[in-house]
Amino acid sequence: MMHRLWFITNPGSGTATQAKCDAIEAAFRERGVDLVGRTGFPEDALPTATQLDEHRVDTVILFAGDGTINATLDALRDWQGKFLILPGGTMNLLAKGLHDTLDPGEIITAAYRRSATVALPFVEAGPNRAYVGLILGPAAHWFRAREEVRKRRFARLWRVARHAWTRTFGRGLRIVGVPGLRRGYQAVFAHPDPHGIELSGIDARDWRSIIELGWTFASGEWATAAPVTRVIVAQFTLGGSKPVLGLFDGEPVTLDPGTRIGCGISAQIFIDTRKEDM
């Protein structure tokens, strides 16, 4: 049960409006729980595990996009409390995997009526983890175009898209240790799976494929891009001799050539309200 909560949101994460934040806080107050702290990321620094323990917080409520959620989980990696993920971003893939609905009020109600805690798999490279997915390769440079679309800065979109286009038409990404993926790919998607890492390689060479691939990145619908190859592996290594851009749950990180990508599973800390899991 949730008793003492810390509420983290990101006003720039898609649907996390102030009105919705107020409604979520009201929903918790109606249940008599203590909302002992609030963080508006990235303007406010994320709380530390020590801060949460000092306030005797048992649950962190996250109403934000997958990138903000990832940053919070990373900052609180050693904290022993629970996390309730509410859909406050564009794609909300992590929330979709934990709840039957994307209505924050219904999720909160379900969390009090019938919830369990579950562990989630992740993909990792060094200290970086992705609970939704890791995107690697030249096409990952479309993330800047995605940010311009999200912030509605269309005047800058063309310049950013042109840069991404050039990178995507360049040499593809090669990975080592996966017999089923031998080509140079414009994008490699690494999705956490209970049995390892699900790898999907996309080889887009003609301009129509580049436009389609670029739009899936810019619009945030990268999960819909059609893979040409899909395999399950325990780990793999980045090939080549130059750094590779990776998007961990949408957040950019530059990885050195030869970086090993592995997988793991979290502690049982995520509140799950799906009926079939009860």
Q: Structure tokens of 206?
A: 């003609």
The tokens 């479309």 sit on which residue? 142
Type of residue at 274: R
pLDDT of residue 183: 67
How does DSSP assign 206-271, residue by residue? SHHHHHHHHHHHHTT-GGGSPPSEEEEES-EEE-SSS-EEEEETTEEEEE-TT-EEEEEE--S-EE
pLDDT of residue 72: 97
Which candidate, 215, 209, 201, 224, places its Cα nearest to that of 91?
Answer: 224
Structure confidence by residue, pLDDT tens digits, 164-213: 545 555 567 888 888 877 667 777 889 999 999 998 887 765 555 555 55
pLDDT of residue 146: 59
pLDDT of residue 46: 97
- The one-character DSSP state at 14 is T
What is this structure's pTM? 0.84
Q: Dihedral of the CA atoms 227, 233, 236, 238 (nearest 10)? A: 0
Low-confidence ranges of the chain (pLDDT < 70): 14, 139-171, 182-183, 204-229, 277-278
pLDDT of residue 148: 46
Q: Answer for the pair 14, 147: CB distance below 8 angstroms, yes or no.
A: no
Q: Please name every residue paired with 193 in a beta bridge, in sequence order, or none if there are none.
A: 196
pLDDT of residue 210: 53
pLDDT of residue 37: 96
Q: Structure tokens of 204?
A: 């887009």
Euclidean distance between CA atoms 179 and 231, whole angstroms: 9
